Amino acid sequence: MSAHQRLVFITGLSGSGKSTVAKCFEDLGFYTVDNLPLELLRRLLEEPFRYAGEKSRGVAVVTDVRAPGFAEEFPKLLTSPAVIAADPVVLFVDADDETLVRRFSETRRSHPIGEARSLIESIRTEREWLAEVRGLADRVYDSSEWNIHEMRDQVSREFGPSEESQVGPVVTLMSFGYKHGIPYGSDLLFDVRFLPNPYFEEDLRELTGMDAPVREFLEDEPEYLELGRRLEEFLLYLLPRYASEQRSYVSVAVGCTGGRHRSVAIVENLKDRLDAAGWTLRVSHRDAAR
């Protein structure tokens, strides 16, 4: 085990998004294991980092009620000396009943503890079975209102590479479209729908705010340039104050109607300005490809 490696258990309710979370960990460089029988999982946890490789960020283990006896045995797994020595993080992924019913109805998959129960009975029974496991969790993600981009951003913020050279918070800049919903967990939210919309220019409609013609169109508007200047000034005032409060991350969300033109251009503008000021940035255009 190298000093930077971590052991993360991903568990939670069926249909809550555990597989999506696991893929996020895999993208971050974790060795990911899903749905091992408990006996094999015990063997893996005797040397949790043995198969991960020196360059991996650690091991992410997905385990849940698909493994018979999980609810009773999982708390015992956490007490083994090798697991305790690895200082694990237990991440419980949850969602409300209405969301879980909708997801199972959309995928037409059966609930893993369905048997003779109805879908809602299965969901509520599993929730009861996992009450103790949820109580052991270090993190609880409620995915009811999250899309895959918000899930990836949350996992990256908490489990991504550390910014050892960064003094102050890592700044996430995200563009989005209001018609697709406000990003979960945004610290600062800016609405730029008052700017002229390139969507109504036929030759710009299929482009995004990352394309030069769209940026040039907006730069002809004094309000766009003034907004960029004022947002830069505002953020450069706020970020050192977040740093003084020992904040590790600050999420800045910029929204327009569809999330393809104005918000993207503003985020790219802010990226250039904040990068020049020395802040560590992560940039996401959530809805630009929609």
Type of residue numbered 289: A
Q: For residue 166, what pLDDT is reported?
A: 47
In order of start, what are the domains of the chain with their CATH numbers? 6-159 (3.40.50.300), 170-285 (no CATH)
Strand 170-177: give its sheet, edge to edge: 188-191, 249-256, 170-177, 281-285
Place of tokens 């708390």: 75
pLDDT, residue 255, reads 98
Task: Return the percent helix, strand and coil in the chain, to nearest 5.
Answer: 45, 20, 40
Residue 92 pLDDT: 97
pLDDT confidence of residue 53: 79
pLDDT score of 164: 47
pTM flag (> 0.85): no
Report pLDDT for 162: 59
pLDDT of residue 89: 95
User: pLDDT per residue over 173-188, tens digit each?
Assistant: 999 999 999 998 899 9
User: Residue written as tokens 């953020």?
Assistant: 235
For CA atoms 252, 244, 271, 216, the dihedral sign is positive
Three-state helix/strand/coil letters over 211-228: CHHHHHHHHCCHHHHHHH
Confidence (pLDDT) at 203: 96
pLDDT of residue 243: 84
- Residue numbers of the chain with a pLDDT score lower than 50: 1, 163-166
Backbone angles phi, psi at 25, to 5 degrees: -65, -40
Q: Quick one: 264 exposed, middle or buried, by C-beta within 10 A (0-12, 13-18, 19+)?
A: buried
